């Protein structure tokens, strides 16, 4: 079973995700898609990528939210409907599996597909899609997973917020290096996608795999910049680094625990900031000859 995340964490990270994604690269994706694009959103979670990207596409569109967790898909439908209504859009549900958001730029259709992505692209309805998109997924997958995807896709592939492995907490702490090394090692443990996860090497691995198959690949930085006022996000981020470092360096548990306590106190007092490196990737298939 592939690694999953709970809705609370996905909701918490949605604002920094939205700030961080590279807008120019998203516009390039929008320009590459047809007039009424059909998108597969892999590891869609609570639907945050839909909420960010659909207004950028700004035309009639259809999304299939793909996730192994049916609870997250249900949460995504509820959240999409609630936020659409809050900004004045009409929402309808023609059946239990479909949501329609009626906007001035046309209808945005949303469906869900419960699927473990470990064997992707197997099981994906690629013949009914014009593009494949994802957020914070490809640093979890294996090199073999990316190789299969690049070999079988003939559609635009957009992967946002792939970690770079260079998180920095500010102000500096003597144990930052120890925690960072443990976190980077933990990023590459097997996450259920058929081998070690790509972690900070995800964007480079994807770029190489897609270029091998003739895709035109563009990458762009998309770092998280977490300000001191975002205390809960900073607390959870530091806690995640602590847990990862503990898994990888249990003998240094005392030092890591001290680092964790310091960072938690700084977050509570509004004295902590963080910058977490990410990058976005857009791979466009070879142009068809006439």
Q: SS in 3 state form for 185-226?
A: HHHCCECCCCCECCHHHHHHHHHHHHHHCCCEEEEEECCEEE
Rounded Cα distance, 76 and 81, in Å: 8
Digit-coded pLDDT (tens) for 244-267? 999 999 999 999 999 999 999 999
Can you list the domains of the chain with their CATH numbers?
Answer: 7-164+193-226+277-284 (3.40.50.150)
Q: What is the mean pLDDT of the chain?
A: 95
- The pLDDT score that the predictor gives to residue 5 is 75
Helices and strands counted in the chain (H then E): 9, 12
pLDDT tens digits, one per residue of 92-141? 998 878 999 999 999 999 999 999 999 999 999 999 999 999 999 999 99
**pLDDT value, residue 182:** 96
37-67 pLDDT per residue, tens: 999 999 999 999 999 999 999 999 999 999 9
Mean predicted confidence (pLDDT) in 228-237: 97
Of all residues in the chain, the percent with pLDDT exceeding 70 is: 98
pTM score? 0.95
The average pLDDT across 203-213 equals: 98
Confidence check: pLDDT of 1 > 60: no
pLDDT at 290: 46
């Amino acid at each position: 079973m592939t690694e999953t995340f709970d809705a609370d964490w996905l909701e918490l990270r949605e604002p920094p995700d939205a700030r961080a994604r590279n807008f120019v690269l998203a516009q390039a994706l929008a320009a590459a898609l047809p007039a009424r694009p059909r998108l597969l959103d892999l590891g869609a979670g609570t639907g945050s990528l839909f909420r960010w990207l659909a207004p950028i596409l700004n035309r009639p569109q259809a999304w299939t939210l793909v996730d192994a967790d049916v609870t997250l898909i249900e949460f995504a439908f509820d959240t999409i409907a609630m936020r659409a209504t809050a900004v004045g859009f009409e929402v309808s549900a023609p059946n239990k599996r479909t949501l329609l958001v009626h906007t001035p730029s046309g209808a945005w259709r949303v469906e869900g597909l419960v699927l473990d992505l470990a064997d992707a692209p197997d099981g994906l309805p690629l013949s009914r899609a014009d593009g494949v998109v994802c957020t914070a997924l490809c640093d979890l997958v294996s090199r073999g997973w990316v190789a299969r995807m690049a070999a079988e896709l003939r559609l635009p592939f957009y992967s946002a917020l792939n970690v770079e492995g260079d998180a920095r907490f500010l102000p500096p702490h003597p144990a930052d290096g120890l925690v960072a090394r443990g976190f980077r090692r933990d990023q590459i443990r097997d996450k259920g996608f058929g081998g070690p996860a790509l972690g900070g090497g995800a964007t480079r691995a994807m770029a190489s795999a897609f270029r091998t198959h003739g895709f035109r690949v563009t990458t762009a930085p998309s770092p998280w910049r977490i300000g001191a006022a975002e205390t809960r996000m900073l607390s959870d981020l530091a806690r995640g680094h602590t847990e990862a470092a503990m898994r990888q360096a249990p003998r240094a548990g005392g030092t890591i625990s001290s680092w964790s306590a310091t960072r938690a106190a700084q977050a509570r007092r509004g004295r902590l900031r963080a910058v977490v490196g990410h990058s976005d990737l857009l791979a466009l298939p070879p142009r068809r000859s006439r």
